[in-house]
Structure 1
């Protein structure tokens, strides 16, 4: 008992001495605000989008419409309509859902996975040249696309005679949902030779008024009427920032010069705002990698790679990256970032392997999101 009493008195004295020795002018270190995990989403999330103030998220085979941070979260299961472990992320829309089987496209009203309500299209019957859907790897961009008006873009591979065509083809569908059923109002096949030699789709990014597709070193825009136009003779990645589209472009994925363009929300009228001839930061070349992503939060440009988040500043001489605090996101694989109610940042994380296994949905107050990593 005496030993405990002495130890307690000694500890109290040390604590008092430590408090007294502190300079009252020294700031008290602020503890990091950790990323909290959303309740009721216990699997990898490959896609998330805020539509009309509601959060929609997608796992490899499920859609969670109108998801919440505190749960419980109901889902619709699309595995019945999908090829097992097919390597694409489900597109998100408040109107309809799209899933693929080996040669079949299934379109359903959002939130309804009843097979009776599914509109199925056998693409092999629709196009005798159909070969297969491309194996686009799971990354942070769209692979199937549904725009805000319900237009659907589906890439596929076809054949000429006995061999595969060098360039991918696209099926474009204009749809509506009437009486709880999906209807096809119009359809187009986009079957051009965009590039000489074999080429593959690098990225697809869906905007409100157009869909942007990069096929090797060329970037095309497909408008709401299914018209396709060459926009850049370069690899690109684009993101909406306020009322503009910001595009990073380069002739080669990991080489300079590196250019930045701005356009209006139609994707047209692009203007070059900056060219970077060289930059020492290795993160600059990573901007163009297929597994990294771009987003905007509160009007600021965000770059993400695996479990790391960066604030991007486009200066006159270089692109500056400030790594943001990711406490709670370690070992995550970030697939998308969304702003909820102008007050909360939501991050979706996929499960990719044994290392990146911190998966699900995570959230943090907006006023703590831009805290630099220490």
Structure 2
């Protein structure tokens, strides 16, 4: 009798082990199946969503095949169901386990927005307003109201944000981007102000930012920034007017239609450096860190002039005679390019 009972227990134990083995293999197959999407897709997990409810959602949408052993996930792999709320990107070909690990780790999808060096505050506002992945909090604010919301004392916001690429997740707002861009601008400006050439004719870091914005508008060539900066620093030291066209264009505002006439150069505005002495009152564009660095640590040169070559880059001159010759060469090159 005892032998018979022992035999039955052994058989039952073997059967239980077989059932357990089969169930775990089925569960393994369930978790290792690829999520069926034609292409990568963003999914949003709302706060309070359970891992079990998520699996049912995936099954109902046809992304994974249902399996009775899915009920064992919570018992055997509870770590896979401790998912976070947020917006996540599911890549094509990922397994269910890989997707669940992404949601558990909370690796939310990163959106990005890039602001080009030399762009203006108005262009930033337009770009942000068209970014539908950001919550719009500042659209109806005036420039002064936005400055107040950001805790910026200066109501003129031109130049007060660093032009670069910003990454963000779902649920962030345009105000968040402004805050980060202003914070990054302050960090870069403070860093280079502390490392500046002490002999510069710049009294404040804001003046350095104004100069950086002019450099930004004059050249996009990294190796030229220091030389362009040296020209303006040399002119400031000699009390020569800067006579830089981008300041004229900025001062013209909507009146600028693509060409600067002699009349425009002679028409006074607060920004026209052909008619005012020194720097304009504010930056004329948003800058990148390279232009800030150039404004505070220019190259050493005797250059007082520069003009585009028409072939990319600029020709730098130490005197007006050579500069006028370079201008003639530039005009000749323009005619040849037509």
TM-score by length of 2: 0.26
More strand by share: 1
Structure ID, larger Rg: 2
Per residue, is there more helix in 1 or in 2? Answer: 2
TM-score calculated relative to the size of structure 1: 0.24
